[in-house]
Structure 1
Amino acid sequence: MREKILTHSAELFLTYGFKSVTMDDIANNLGISKKTIYQHFDNKTKLVEATTLHMFDVISHGIDCICELKKNPIEELYDIKNFVMEHLKNEKSSPQYQLQKYYPKIFSTLKSKQFEVMQTCVTANLERGVKDGLYRNNIHIDFIARLYFNGMVSLKDQDLFPLTHFSMNVLLENYLEYHLRGICTDKGNQILNKIINQTKNQ
């Protein structure tokens, strides 16, 4: 039952936001009583915390699986972006922004965990890209990996990028191209152009 509550809560939080969804909404959606939810989670804050960590684990595992395929590093970044978008429902309700605003401690914990995963993943991606001749061999890998993470976090700042002006998909597409244009060799740019053209024609 605990797993079921987490899955349904994640679905509701991603669709309507952490602030908007109540314990009643979750109970009604599951067709159970609030009492059943409280048997597993003391309060909404505990449920939000467990749900965000559950979503983090699911997405981290998916990213690990993509990285294990050892595709070329540029394709890998686009596959990760598509996977994340699929699981975060285009973030219409800006859940990460709401999490930061209403549950700052949970947000801070999540951000640290995201940094650990992304730092490892992006560093490996950059190293492989340099080795394969797709990224310039004079890039500062640790600096770019940290910059990339910081940029990803900034995209979720509703004051900077209101969803009324930008969809999360458009933001990620533009940011990924911006990141890659700065580090790609001619060989890398050829692959990047091909992927961008394929995306436009889909």
Structure 2
Amino acid sequence: MKQRILAEAERLFWRYGIRSVTMEDIAKQLGISKKTIYQHFTDKEQILSEVIQDKFGRDHKAMACVAVEAENPVAEIMHVLAMIQKNADQVSPNLLIDMKRHYPQAFALFKQYKEGEVLRSILENIQKGIEQGLYRSDLNPGILARLRVEQIELAFNNDIFPSNQYTMQQIQYELMHHFIRGMLTEQGFTIYNQYVNQYNHEVH
């Protein structure tokens, strides 16, 4: 039952934001009583914290698989973008805003993951790309990795990207493509263009 509660809470939080989802909403969707939820969790923040830990654990495994299976660092970034794009329309722009303002424990977990696993995987990707001649050798990997990590949070900033003007898919697509294009060598561009053409062919 605990895993069912976490799975439904994740779906609702990601879709509608955190503040607008009540314990009653979660119970109603599962066809159980609020009392049943309180047998497993003390409050909504505990549910949120466990949802985030589960979600980040799954994301980390998925990214690790991509890093191992991708033919090269450009392919790795394109696969990660495809994963983000696939789930972007299921993510409310309020998700991170709610977390930052009202759920400090959960936001601390997000920051820890962002500045740990995510930063490390981006840094490794950039270093591999430079070594393989796909990214420019004059890059500063540390600065660029931090830039990309901050873009993740930036995409949720409603003051910069109002949700009535841009979808999360559009924002993530533009930010990621802008980021990777700035790093590529001519050899890297050849590979990148192949993936873009392949993606456009599959979409159309």
Q: What TM-score, normalized by structure 2, do the two folds share? A: 0.91
Partner of 2:132: 132
User: Shift in Å at residue 93 of structure 1?
Assistant: 4.7
Residues in 2 aligned to 1:156 and 1:78: alpha-carbon distance in whole angstroms = 21
- Contact preservation (8 Å) 1:8, 1:30: yes
Determine the structure 1 residue equivalent to 2:37: 37
Alignment partners' CA distance in 2, 1:37 and 1:43: 9
Return 5+ residue gaps in structure 2 as ranges: none
The one-letter code of the counterpart of 2:41 is: F
Conserved 8 A contact 1:92-1:163: no
- Corresponding residue for residue 72 of structure 2: 72
What aligned pairs does 1:1-202 form with structure 2 within 5 A after superposition? 1-87=1-87, 89-201=89-201, 202=203
More displaced, 132-141 or 91-100?
91-100
CA distance in 2, matches of 1:87, 1:166: 16
* Structure 2: distance between partners of 1:92 and 1:15: 5
Return 90-99 or 115-124, whichever deviates more.
Answer: 90-99
Counterpart of 2:60, as a letter, is S
Q: Over residues 109-138 of structure 1, what are the superposed CA-to-partner deviations in whole Å (9 max), with x where a residue is unaligned?
A: 311222201111111111111121110112
What's the C-alpha RMSD, in Å, of the aligned pairs? 1.7
Aligned residues: 202
Alpha carbons 2:118, 2:149 under 8 Å: kept: yes
Which aligned runs of 4 or more in structure 1 are off by greater than 6 angstroms? none
Listed one character per residue, the Cα deviations across residues 80-109 of structure 1 (whole Å, up to 9, x for unaligned) are 122234345442453122222322342133
In the superposition, the TM-score normalised over structure 1's length comes to 0.92
Q: Is contact 1:133-1:185 (8 Å) kept?
A: yes
| Structure 1: distance between partners of 2:191 and 2:102 | 42
C-alpha deviations, 1:117-165, integer Å up to 9, x for none? 1111111111111121110112111111111111222111111111211
Structure 1: gaps (5+ residues): none
Q: Secondary structure at the residue paired with 2:81?
A: helix
Distance 2:171 2:88 in 1: 14
Structure 1 stretch 50-59 or stretch 23-32: which is displaced more? 50-59
For the Cα contact (< 8 Å) 2:23–2:44, is it kept in 1? yes
C-alpha separation between the residues in 1 aligned to 2:104 and 2:162? 20
Q: Which amino acid aligns with 2:123?
A: T
TM-aligned CA distance change 1:49 to 1:125, over 3 Å? same
